[in-house]
Structure 1
């Protein structure tokens, strides 16, 4: 299918991003990846903390900022000043979307709540990302991902059963809420086509986690069962686990359907296991999960992973290695689909990062530039908004921009 040279499916959409860190800005990243003009308002002195966050600082800069700040324009403005808020209001008046992740009530305190902004821009869509949402007894609490992940149910079921709850190695609650906010923005924009009116998208971190918790609530409601930590397996889904190999690497094998399990048994030289009363159907394998995994592990432990993987793949089984960054960079599947792209950076030179997903065949997204320098687009955006050179210089001298 031929791709259109349109700059992405959201080309022509103007987004004002306020707030910082991950949850709100991840929503802005997603919208920017698909062509929206994302104008990020940052504190003139330090900007978004993501400019400094991260374990390593090559050349004194964070590798985190080029990713979460990509495809955005940076405009410095002090929203704690009357003049700064006036600038923000002027920009929002001509915008389609506002993304913010301040603590609920902050924008209202500044006279910039949704109702106030919608008076001059009734079609405005405002995505509000917070820990607990804009309503309810917890709404004013500080809401970080670690709490949202815990309250949403993810932390309790993550990790080994004999240890304290673990966390994912990323801020998954923030990213989920950012994705939820971006999805909500698109729904609200679709509704605006029919009604001409905007609305608020209220994306809470704990609810964004809760929405991916499958049947956790319903199972408890119907049976009283509380899902617990189960390590590398899903209880009752077998075989579906990581197994040792002779070479020391772990191999993933998923063969929990009857037909796939029979193929695995044939490969193991144990076709009789597929007819064994303990393993012959999904429920039986789930009930005997531990002993079945032990049988498979004893077989894989005697196999070299380079020999084992082709056999498993030829049998049509779900299988693979556990990847780290170096594995991704040398994998032919990643290369063929350009899952990782190289982007020019003014300081680092060429840097690699994940591409824009999902893929659209006619109007795909992409990475047009990495996170900008602080205030890089201030003068151009404010000039477009009608401020002359002297006005911009005056605002800068007063520390407003």
Structure 2
């Protein structure tokens, strides 16, 4: 293994083989930045993503793609033609030398070259295989094609967002692929741990649709429990009356929310000069929702008196959640990034030195860092072949078949202090795959929040306990938990955990192997460290909110989903497992700062690189986005019925010919024969294609296009997901039953291990439901001791 780095990298002991499309690239890049030796196996013509825009210097060349550079730092490249026997033998040796294969090849793509499931089981029993496909390896849609936009649509993310006068708008910057890639990296580490413990490799089947359905979280649960059927809000509030985008005096915009009681009072009663919203009736959120137009008018008039930065600064000084809708350049050059030295310089052999996004999180002992730029095609062939020629492959660990079915994370325990959305989603992901999660709550949170479907959805599989961390005896109980745990995680604001007396120095003295992960919105340092952060403000500040929409739609209609909450949660889960890999080798725990601003910023790579390298600053482009230039036709098209749509992403002339026979004789026009021709005549193409799609329901168009061989997807609501025949065939729709919620239907696992048990159908606990088990069985307290601590309000 070249450049072994076992001392200051979390994954310096791992070799990873990467094969296939760009979702695998994003997954393997995370592991490479954590220190793994990632060998990228490309076809002789190169990974197709080498020809994805944007290009350095705007020169189309396979060594100048900035999207490729973003997805492939720290890797080595070897080109293999798997139709060639000698090259297949090289791949065999690579797989023998590795612990992990991450592949995103079409279903059957490896099998046709002799790499069947049986061959993997017999010849590489140690190997963990993470397979990423659009719809998974089983089910009626298993052979269907996909794209980043289709994953977002079929996973439910696009249905309730954006301009309500247009079709759903795709997310920018490959956000779906990158989210799924981060989740695949996390699952890879879970699989590696299981293989080390049991001697058994396995395949983990990840469907991009299901990965995004998981991140979409509670849409199925809200549909089944609360009968909520969300439509796009357009320019209206989203997340409660007043939570919206507002134009400021200087022509810029801010996102602002007052969705907590103390925030509403501070803004409406203390700050606003017009006291039209100061009456006690306005303190009721339901009343505000019923009079949302009055709220919107008053907010807009007041906020419009300020420049954007001035309003955000004054609001934050009052502990109110506000942030400007930055451009990419404003985010890149902001003082927060400068002070934290987040951007990193990379020196590439073709384009030279450039500034790139920094790490999505900061590990105290094993920082993520760029050790080498993205590779040139076949750059490392000689050194890789030399290593294989001299390698002695160790026999696999003796397999304990009795343990094959153990959950991948069995035996690990986490003390979970996270609240709301960011955090609980990530700890639930770990619970699915076997980590024991002690969900620590306090009885002071209103029960209505817990009764919501979202709480029941995001806390499945956890043990619920109550603890008063401001009580001296409660603090001691928490320290006992730390002594018996592997991980502690919180998503408090900067400084809160230290004020409670639980800094890493304190926890490490209790348990030297503890991994502590914190999730401050803006980071622990920098001028914004004390700012209030909801996912909306982070989305605005990083520039994504501004990009996620159509150029001719009002700014107020930009996407308002709290995407950074999802990013931060999954990134935290990945970081925790990477730190535990390091602990398994060294016995050392470490501290993880998972600032969600940087986690989200790290996913803006293509847009940031186009700015730092070329000086191009992206703005909202809808389906004319730069990363969509590889498709034609590409967009969202109207279908029969009200507000019904289909997304089409035609990647090649072959796919076009396949769909041309469906859509009408006009498709035979020579001007549409090539991708360049279709892009040149896009307006005419979209108009004619819309005439065909309007004759079909979304599901009809989806089936017809996919069966013909063209990628398409339906923007799905919670109701659509609930009834999805493919998700049900894969067991992805599950039901829980527990009080006070009763029966609720949810999304299921984001990926399916072939051996290990995994479970998304264990219900969420009600507050304190597992106090006896946590304090009695785990901490070893007697019933009398527990009763006394309850009387002292330590357990509360």
The answer to whether the superposition gives a TM-score over 0.5 is: yes
Q: Deviation at 1:287?
A: 5.0
Q: Which of 571, 579, 589 matches 1:180?
A: 571
Alignment partner of 1:254 is 2:654? no
- Distance in 1 (CA, whole Å) between partners of 2:760 and 2:703 is 35
Which residue is 1:244 aligned to?
A: 638
Deviates more, 1:334-343 or 1:345-354: 345-354
Alignment partner of 1:297 is 2:665? no
Which residue is 1:144 aligned to?
A: 534
Q: Which of 17, 32, 56 matches 2:416?
A: 17
Q: Deviation at 1:341?
A: 0.4
With over 3 angstroms needed to count, the CA separation of the structure-2 counterparts of 1:25 and 1:314, relative to structure 1, is closer
Q: Which of 323, 328, 349 matches 2:721?
A: 328
- Distance in 1 (CA, whole Å) between partners of 2:402 and 2:607 is 41
Which residue is 1:190 aligned to?
A: 581
Deviates more, 1:363-372 or 1:117-126: 363-372
What SS does the corresponding residue of 2:536 show, helix, strand or coil?
Answer: helix
Q: Deviation at 1:336?
A: 0.6
Alignment partner of 1:386 is 2:776? no
What SS does the corresponding residue of 2:453 show, helix, strand or coil?
Answer: coil
With over 3 angstroms needed to count, the CA separation of the structure-2 counterparts of 1:358 and 1:136, relative to structure 1, is farther
What SS does the corresponding residue of 1:228 show, helix, strand or coil?
Answer: coil
Q: Deviation at 1:353?
A: 0.6
Q: TM-score, normalised by structure 1?
A: 0.88
Deviates more, 1:251-260 or 1:296-305: 296-305
Q: Deviation at 1:3?
A: 10
Which residue is 1:163 aligned to?
A: 554
Q: Root-mean-square deviation (CA), in Å? A: 2.5
- Distance in 2 (CA, whole Å) between partners of 1:306 and 1:33 is 31
Q: Deviation at 1:8?
A: 1.7
Deviates more, 1:98-107 or 1:366-375: 366-375
Q: Deviation at 1:314?
A: 2.7
Contact 1:147–1:206 (CA<8 Å) still a contact in 2? no
Alignment partner of 1:38 is 2:429? no
Deviations 1:43-79 (A, max 9, x none): 1333xx6x5339xxxxxx3112211121111111111
- Distance in 1 (CA, whole Å) between partners of 2:701 and 2:421 is 40
What SS does the corresponding residue of 2:648 show, helix, strand or coil?
Answer: strand
Alignment partner of 1:226 is 2:226? no
Q: Deviation at 1:153?
A: 2.3
- Distance in 2 (CA, whole Å) between partners of 1:131 and 1:139 is 8
Deviations 1:327-380 (A, max 9, x none): 222221011101110122234433211112222111142125212111112232
- Distance in 1 (CA, whole Å) between partners of 2:464 and 2:733 is 24
Which residue is 1:117 aligned to?
A: 507
Contact 1:156–1:165 (CA<8 Å) still a contact in 2? no
Q: Deviation at 1:33?
A: 1.2
- Distance in 2 (CA, whole Å) between partners of 1:112 and 1:190 is 24
Contact 2:534–2:562 (CA<8 Å) still a contact in 1? no
Deviates more, 1:163-172 or 1:368-377: 163-172
Q: TM-score, normalised by structure 2?
A: 0.46
Which residue is 2:597 aligned to?
A: 206
Which residue is 1:68 aligned to?
A: 458
Contact 2:545–2:560 (CA<8 Å) still a contact in 1? no
- Distance in 2 (CA, whole Å) between partners of 1:296 and 1:309 is 14
User: After the TM superposition, which residues 81-120 of structure 1 pair with which residues of structure 2 at under 5 Å, given as runs?
Assistant: 81-120=471-510
Contact 1:7–1:363 (CA<8 Å) still a contact in 2? yes
Deviates more, 1:62-71 or 1:235-244: 235-244
Which residue is 2:215 aligned to?
A: none
With over 3 angstroms needed to count, the CA separation of the structure-2 counterparts of 1:233 and 1:8, relative to structure 1, is farther
Contact 1:260–1:316 (CA<8 Å) still a contact in 2? yes
- Distance in 1 (CA, whole Å) between partners of 2:640 and 2:760 is 41
Which residue is 1:367 aligned to?
A: 760
Q: Deviation at 1:212?
A: 2.5
| Unaligned runs of at least 5 residues, structure 1 | 55-60
Which residue is 1:397 aligned to?
A: 791
- Distance in 1 (CA, whole Å) between partners of 2:524 and 2:440 is 22
Contact 1:32–1:38 (CA<8 Å) still a contact in 2? yes
| Unaligned runs of at least 5 residues, structure 2 | 1-201, 203-400
Deviations 1:123-148 (A, max 9, x none): 11111111112232322322221111
Q: Which of 53, 68, 78 matches 2:449?
A: 53
